[in-house]
Amino acid sequence: MSTKTWWKEGIVYQIYPRSFQDTSGNGVGDLKGILHRLDYIKSLGVDIIWLNPVYESPNDDNGYDISDYRSIMKEFGSMEDFDALLAGMKTRGLKLVMDLVVNHSSDEHPWFKASRSSRDNPYRDYYHWWPAEKGTPPKRWSYFDVDENAWKYDATTDAYYLHYFSVKQPDLKWENPKVRQEIYQMMEFWFKKGVDGFRMDVIPFISKDTSFPELPEKYQGDFVSYYAEGPKLHEYLQEMNKEVLSKYDVMTVGEAPGVTIENALDLVGEDRKELNMFFHFDLMSLDRKPGTVFEMNPDKWKLTQFKEIHSRWDRAFESDGWGSMFLSNHDFPRSVSRWGNDHPDFWHASATMLQTFLLTMRGTPYFYFGDEIGMTNVRFNQIEQYQDINTINRYEIAKNKGQDLEAFLENEKEASRDNARTPMQWDTSENSGFSKKTPWISLHPNYKTGINVASQEVDEHSVLHYFRKATALRKAHQGLIYGGYKLIDPKNEDIYAYTRSFEDKQYLILLSFSENLSTVNLSGLHLTNQKLLLANSREVADPLTEISSLHPYEARVYDISKK
Ligand code: NOJ
């Protein structure tokens, strides 16, 4: 069995600070706002807060373009606010995980300003440059570039610089030991303040073959895998672990596009001494058109595929490493709209069913703010409503290519990251209690009709109250954290059923992903001592039999231990 630690037992709550709570009245969330809401967060039964970047940034990509790694973005407050927030968290027994964005910096970071100023500047080698006299550099794909080109020509020194993301996010050159030392020192700076860990942005991309060859044959059509398999990735992570991480009791979770199940343990195997966990992208690409990153697949995903992904990843970490379980974050649409069903008839059941799923699987559960009240996709109609560089620049690309812009906007209604970035819905007052001023991004109007904290606090059957019961259940049963997982009735396209077994305990979890009454085959399970621990339906459930039925999106958790 897996060794026990706090970051395996903890439940993570991710906050997108820009959208959580504004106290300064500028329409943008801030650190004081988070401090103000700490009692609420604590009441959810979560243990660890992951904050999206709060560092100084020109906000080309909402903080993922950092211009000073050691200071707080002015819109969010000051370092004093940060210290007060951290102290407030410690008092309440909450841990803090920060975002570490070191594949790239902002082009407004002093390092890059110096680097681009002349070819012989001491900071030149902090970034990747391709001198123009060598000709056009070999094609590299960029996530956010309007030309889909990761090389940007810079006239000052007649050279191209590399940017896997926007032109304002130049890639740092990890091959330069000075860069690595700067990063390790910066990490120490935050650890010394008492931060409990880092979520590492696109961490598998840090190592590059700096000869920049043409894309090798085996990666044709798949830049992401190429980016994730740089030659020195593991060497750098082991160095970072040895020089910094190993000195502190902290957790690390890598964002890991391009990392496959075959090389999973290279990153998180315990003896590797690299990272603790990572987010894989297998589920996040399930509803995307094959070969694309941002386009929805018109063929809907199947529950058997969803189950297969989770069963396979559970197996990968059965005896080594540890998984991270998530259904949503700031880069993807809202989980109830994506994996559940946000039609009013099914919204409550499917939101709570998905909560039950994350809280009964092995692997650390990560919730994105607002999922505890079942926030849904906003589905903007017009391009002007979008704030995200990803949607805005891809709209430009579509326009330049003469593509169908209506179709583009339809796609964004389901796929856009802005679906997850609308402000937290606190109450029914103006701007949902998020801000006194018009927010930086429009609110979802459904804050007025039940999807808000205040309304759900006074309704004992709300999604919010269910969330608290479900987190408490996980805490009360170590078997739900460490227990072995077994898929039941694998071919069932309506119901996801599995057991978790730990010492002499066995749990059975039944989750309907269907709009219809559906049945599950439980033959072979010992059902004599069934005890219902948690259910999201108010109707009294019939005792389980070999063939049992579930209401649409129903979730139930049983203790079926023999004694
Ligand atoms: C992944 C982050 O989660 C995303 O929000 C960001 O745009 C890119 N990395 C670039 O930093």
Taking only the tens place, the pLDDT of each residue in 129-162 is: 999 999 999 999 999 999 999 999 999 999 999 9
- Alpha-carbon span 107 to 231, nearest angstrom: 25
Q: Which residues contact 357 (CB under 8 A, 6 or more apart)?
A: 327, 496, 509, 511, 555
Strands 95-100 and 197-200 come out as: parallel
Atom index in ligand 1 nearest the CA of residue 164 equals: 10
List residues near ligand 1 (CB under 6 A): 61, 64, 101, 165, 201-202, 255, 330-331
Mutate to test the pocket of ligand 1, among 60, 201, 206 (most ligand atoms within 8 A of CB): 201
In the predicted structure, residue 296 carries a pLDDT above the cut 70? yes
- Alpha-carbon span 543 to 563, nearest angstrom: 18
- Tell the CATH topology of 178-322: TIM Barrel (3.20.20)
In the predicted structure, residue 222 carries a pLDDT above the cut 90? yes
DSSP character for 258? T
In the predicted structure, residue 2 carries a pLDDT above the cut 90? no
Q: How far away, in angstroms, is 143 Cα from ligand 1 center? A: 9
- Between the alpha carbon of residue 152 and those of residues 131, 164, 209, 238, 358, the distances in Å are 11, 10, 18, 31, 41
Write down the pLDDT at residue 291: 87
Percent of the chain scoring above 90 in pLDDT: 98
Contact predicate 4/12, CB 8 Å = no
420-462: per-residue pLDDT in tens? 999 999 999 999 999 999 999 999 999 999 999 999 999 999 9
- Between the alpha carbon of residue 525 and those of residues 489, 498, 508, 517, the distances in Å are 11, 11, 9, 22
**Rounded mean pLDDT of 254-267?**
98
- Alpha-carbon span 35 to 56, nearest angstrom: 19
- Between the alpha carbon of residue 18 and those of residues 29, 70, 422, the distances in Å are 4, 18, 9
Q: How far away, in angstroms, is 221 Cα from ligand 1 center? A: 21
Strands 151-154 and 68-72 come out as: unpaired
Contact predicate 203/256, CB 8 Å = yes
* Helix axis angle, 79-91 to 177-193, nearest 10°: 60
In the predicted structure, residue 1 carries a pLDDT above the cut 70? no
Write down the pLDDT at residue 540: 87
For the question of residue 201 being annotated catalytic, the response is yes
Q: Which residues contact 325 (CB under 8 A, 6 or more apart)?
A: 358, 361, 363, 364, 365, 366
Mutate to test the pocket of ligand 1, among 60, 331, 368, 391 (most ligand atoms within 8 A of CB): 331
Q: How far away, in angstroms, is 196 Cα from ligand 1 center? A: 21
Write down the pLDDT at residue 25: 97
3-class state of residue 294 by DSSP: coil
- Between the alpha carbon of residue 3 and those of residues 272, 319, 358, the distances in Å are 15, 10, 21
Mutate to test the pocket of ligand 1, among 15, 62, 64, 419 (most ligand atoms within 8 A of CB): 64
Q: How far away, in angstroms, is 327 Cα from ligand 1 center? A: 16
Write down the pLDDT at residue 439: 98
Mutate to test the pocket of ligand 1, among 18, 59, 65, 101 (most ligand atoms within 8 A of CB): 101
- Alpha-carbon span 415 to 391, nearest angstrom: 9
Write down the pLDDT at residue 97: 98
Helix (H) or strand (E) holding 352: helix 347-360
Atom index in ligand 1 nearest the CA of residue 104 equals: 11
CATH tag for 7-96+343-380+416-476 (out of 3.40.50.2300, 1.20.1250.20, 1.10.760.10, 3.20.20.80): 3.20.20.80
**Rounded mean pLDDT of 469-484?**
98
- Alpha-carbon span 11 to 41, nearest angstrom: 11
Atom index in ligand 1 nearest the CA of residue 417 equals: 5
Q: Which residues contact 512 (CB under 8 A, 6 or more apart)?
A: 353, 494, 495, 518, 550, 551, 552, 553, 554, 555
Handedness of CA 307, 333, 414, 350 (dihedral sign): positive
Q: How far away, in angstroms, is 255 Cα from ligand 1 center? A: 9
Q: How far away, in angstroms, is 202 Cα from ligand 1 center? A: 7
The CATH architecture of the domain made up of 110-162 is: Alpha-Beta Complex (3.90)
**Rounded mean pLDDT of 278-294?**
95
Contact predicate 547/530, CB 8 Å = no
Q: How far away, in angstroms, is 432 Cα from ligand 1 center? A: 27
**Rounded mean pLDDT of 11-27?**
98
* Cα Rg, the chain, nearest whole Å: 24
Atom index in ligand 1 nearest the CA of residue 64 equals: 11
Atom index in ligand 1 nearest the CA of residue 389 equals: 7
List the beta bridge partners of residue 497.
488, 510
If phi over 0 gives left and psi between -120 and 50 gives alpha, with beta otherwise, what is residue 79? alpha
- Tell the CATH topology of 482-559: Immunoglobulin-like (2.60.40)
Atom index in ligand 1 nearest the CA of residue 61 equals: 7
Within the chain, how many helices (H) and strands (E) appear? Answer: 17, 20
- Alpha-carbon span 501 to 121, nearest angstrom: 60
pLDDT level of residue 6 (50, 70, 90 thresholds): very high
pLDDT level of residue 541 (50, 70, 90 thresholds): confident
* Helix axis angle, 233-243 to 177-193, nearest 10°: 40
Residue ranges of the chain assigned to CATH 3.20.20.80:
7-96+343-380+416-476, 178-322
Q: Residue whose CA is closest, atom 11 of ligand 1?
A: 64
In the predicted structure, residue 263 carries a pLDDT above the cut 80? yes
Atom index in ligand 1 nearest the CA of residue 165 equals: 10
Q: How far away, in angstroms, is 64 Cα from ligand 1 center? A: 6
In the predicted structure, residue 326 carries a pLDDT above the cut 90? yes
pTM of the full structure: 0.98
Catalytic pick among 201, 274, 388, 489 = 201
pLDDT, mean over the chain = 97
- Alpha-carbon span 442 to 264, nearest angstrom: 39
For the question of residue 282 being annotated catalytic, the response is no
185 C-beta neighbours (distance < 10 Å), count: 13
**Rounded mean pLDDT of 288-305?**
94
Catalytic pick among 47, 145, 255, 418 = 255
Q: How far away, in angstroms, is 201 Cα from ligand 1 center? A: 6
Percent of the chain scoring above 70 in pLDDT: 100
- Alpha-carbon span 94 to 172, nearest angstrom: 32
Q: Which two tokens stand for residue 563?
A: 């004694």
Per-residue burial over 488-504, b = 16 or more CB atoms within 10 Å of its CB, e = otherwise: bbeebebbbbbbbebee
Contact predicate 330/368, CB 8 Å = yes
Contact predicate 239/180, CB 8 Å = yes
